Structure 1
Amino acid sequence: MNRTPHPQGVADGPPLGDIAHLGHVELLTPDPDRSLWFFTTLLGLTENGRSGDSVHLRTWDDYEHHSLTLTAHRTSGIRRTALRVSGEDALRRRVEALENAGHGGHWAEDEPGIGPLYVTRDPDGHELALYGESEWYGAPPELKPGLKNQPQAKPAHGVGVRRLDHVNFLAADVEPDAVFTRDCLGARSTEQIVLDTGRLAAQWLTFTNKSCDIVYTEDWSGSHARLHHIAFATDTREDILRAADLCLDNGVHIETGPHKHAIQQTFFLYVYEPGGNRIELCNPLTRLVLAPDWPLITWTQAERAKGQAWGLKTIESFHTHGTPPVD
């Protein structure tokens, strides 16, 4: 049988597998009490310990100690994004690849429930940490689930987000960060935006069979190491509609949505948590990419100008708001 190649070509990158999945992120907030309220009362995360100025939170379907660390800080933004590797050999290969490419880091043991982390930075300056050892969560009696293959009972309040889905970084130059994530971390590119000038404006990358785990988007300000958003997956679209009502009732700023993306095809809602960081709620849980020869889908500037899947134009702040804020 003759095999017909996809007209857009096949996505670049080494075989998947060394990075098992996106582990957790650390968000900075200048309003820690209100941010904690947002993530626990409104989104339904569970507190699972504190370290200094940090609170460790978890989604109900996460098997690890925490999904999010919320740290009091003078400003908003993201500090660390942690990736769990699939084993000691995988960790060795990724550390070797990082050091050979000039992105060497250091070892740290500074998070509860997590073994040694190899801490490095991408070309734009975002802090990334790789780890293998992880403590499986044991729910206390009041959070015991009805099903033994579920780590924790679903929350009876708020939105009840299921898991941390992906991180969207802002970068002064997207291309070197995309190359770094592919070549050093072993990700695969799934979709991208290329401007009429030929400049890469955004790229979506995955370590798994999800359509994305990490995204890089061009920072209009030319700044480095900023955050566009982190995303949490919900069980249903109805959860996102409920989230919109809860945000409306509680004075949480809704930036855009509910609506449907063209890229990644997720139903979405974007809000600003009280500390100023943009949060996305998305459903379905990030689309699966099962094809081993998945094509790298390229969107043009004209195609993106049409807006989202059902015609909603992208709101201006989506291009200008990032954290920490810039003058």
Structure 2
Amino acid sequence: MHDEPITDLAHLGHVEMLTPKIEESLRFFVEVMGMTESGRQGDSVYLRGWDDYERYSLQLTASHTSGMGHAAFRTRSPQALERRVAALRADGHEVWAHEGELGHGTGYRFRDPDGHVFELYYDTEWYQAPEALRPALKNQAQRFPARGVNARRLDHFNCLAVDVRACREFFERNLGLRCTERIELDSGEEAGMWLTATNKSYDFAFTKEAHGIPGRFHHVTFALDSREAILQAADVFLENGVHIETGPHKHAVQQTFFLYVYEPGGNRVEVANAGARLILAPDWKTITWTETERKKGQAWGLKTIESFHTHGSPPLPEPEAAGGATAGVNTVAGQDDLSGDGIAS
């Protein structure tokens, strides 16, 4: 007999991104990504995609460095929130209340085995568009911005982890997240895992950290309407002098059509096609990719660019930056973390 699945998480709510260049990063997300500012509090500016129903999906926080401050999931009910907090504590993890955040009620924060901060909450503020941003159709949260790449909604994020398997088991055990795809190296080590709380193919992913440093961030992803919108986004980035790291192209893992850039604060940002794949099977069987399969590169043969394995945020500390790199530089010269090209997605 199978255990009853845990369905207490509703969806990914928001990601807090740290930036040492708050004004430049804000300009990027508003003017180039086409997001809308929906509030300010303390050192943070809160931003939204035009189809996000909550007040915001991105919290941009001024900091001395880059990286992820926290990632937050909304639960399905107040009772679901209580159950997940109790489960985390029963599993021996510290959970602390976070009060006074803009746009939602009490959040409960905790750390995963790699040290990333996560938050669970239920009470939330539904976005009410001001007159100038009201849409023509009442089933849409906000008027289409017609600005930059027109980010529709927050889609997913990716963290780096020293022990990917330990993190996957933590999220499965305590939050009921389902693993739709994973990567296992010839050594038996898990190099990547993709988890979902919904019928999306994934809400977030963890991939292997190259340098043994916990708590680092890989990228955040915003959904656009179509593949064509992503091709147009490449032109928008080009016209705005934004460095395109790799793409447009199609991942093999999860089949996401992708384009990666760096925002001014040093964090990687992806735009991808909304709703590319849905996982409707309640008994979905996890797809496991081998090291040999991943060395083939992306879906159509594009080799994974080396910086995709070595660049993360915050930057590597100076003692770790071997091969002539200096503090604040993310790419380590001559170092490949996963024994060949094309492992990560």
TM-score bucket (shorter structure): over 0.9
The match for 1:164 among 154, 158, 173 is: 154
Distance 1:273 1:83 in 2: 24
State whether structure 2 residue 40 is matched by structure 1 residue 50.
yes
Moved over 6 A (4+): none
State whether structure 2 residue 141 is matched by structure 1 residue 151.
yes
Distance 1:13 1:300 in 2: 28
State whether structure 2 residue 248 is matched by structure 1 residue 245.
no
- Cα distance change, pair 212–13 in 1 and its aligned pair in 2 (3 A): farther
C-alpha contact (below 8 Å) 1:29/1:276 kept by paired residues: yes
The one-letter amino acid of 1:231's match is T
State whether structure 2 residue 191 is matched by structure 1 residue 198.
no
**Correspondence for 2:108:** 118
**Correspondence for 1:188:** 178
**Correspondence for 1:94:** 84
Q: Shift of the alpha carbon at 1:156?
A: 1.7
**Correspondence for 1:280:** 270
Distance 2:270 2:15 in 1: 14
The structure showing larger relative contact order (alpha-carbon pairs under 8 Å, at least 6 residues apart) is 1
Distance 2:310 2:236 in 1: 25
TM-score (norm 1): 0.95
1:50-89 to 2 correspondences below 5 Å? 50-89=40-79
**Correspondence for 2:343:** none
Q: Shift of the alpha carbon at 1:59?
A: 0.7
Q: Shift of the alpha carbon at 1:133?
A: 0.2
**Correspondence for 1:236:** 226
The match for 1:207 among 194, 197, 219 is: 197
The one-letter amino acid of 1:256's match is T
Tell me how many residue pairs correspond in the alignment: 316
SS in 2 for 1:184: helix
**Correspondence for 2:207:** 217
SS in 2 for 1:274: coil
Distance 1:14 1:247 in 2: 46
The one-letter amino acid of 1:117's match is G
Q: What is the percentage of aligned positions where both structures have the same residue?
A: 59
Instruction: Output one character per residue of 1:76-120: Cα deviation in whole Å (capped at 9) or x when no partner.
Output: 100110110000111111011100111121111131110000011
Instruction: Output one character per residue of 1:155-178: Cα deviation in whole Å (capped at 9) or x when no partner.
Output: 121111111001101001101110
Instruction: Output one character per residue of 1:123-159: Cα deviation in whole Å (capped at 9) or x when no partner.
Output: 1010001001001111000000011011101112111
Q: Runs of 5+ in structure 1 lacking a partner? A: 1-11
C-alpha contact (below 8 Å) 1:95/1:104 kept by paired residues: no
Distance 2:267 2:276 in 1: 21
Instruction: Output one character per residue of 1:171-193: Cα deviation in whole Å (capped at 9) or x when no partner.
Output: 01101110111111110000000
The match for 1:30 among 17, 20, 32 is: 20
The match for 1:258 among 234, 238, 248 is: 248
C-alpha contact (below 8 Å) 1:186/1:207 kept by paired residues: yes
State whether structure 2 residue 125 is matched by structure 1 residue 135.
yes
1:169-180 to 2 correspondences below 5 Å? 169-180=159-170
**Correspondence for 2:340:** none
C-alpha contact (below 8 Å) 2:244/2:261 kept by paired residues: yes
Distance 1:260 1:14 in 2: 35
TM-score (norm 2): 0.90
C-alpha contact (below 8 Å) 1:233/1:286 kept by paired residues: no
Distance 1:47 1:16 in 2: 34
**Correspondence for 2:7:** 17
C-alpha contact (below 8 Å) 1:105/1:118 kept by paired residues: yes
Distance 1:212 1:318 in 2: 19
Distance 2:301 2:3 in 1: 32
1:308-323 to 2 correspondences below 5 Å? 308-323=298-313
SS in 2 for 1:264: helix
C-alpha contact (below 8 Å) 1:16/1:208 kept by paired residues: no
Instruction: Output one character per residue of 1:262-284: Cα deviation in whole Å (capped at 9) or x when no partner.
Output: 11111100110111100111114
**Correspondence for 1:5:** none
- CA RMSD, Structure 1 to Structure 2 (Å): 1.2
State whether structure 2 residue 253 is matched by structure 1 residue 301.
no
The one-letter amino acid of 1:43's match is M
Q: Shift of the alpha carbon at 1:235?
A: 0.6
C-alpha contact (below 8 Å) 2:181/2:286 kept by paired residues: yes
Q: Runs of 5+ in structure 2 lacking a partner? A: 322-345
Distance 1:200 1:257 in 2: 25
Distance 1:14 1:103 in 2: 23
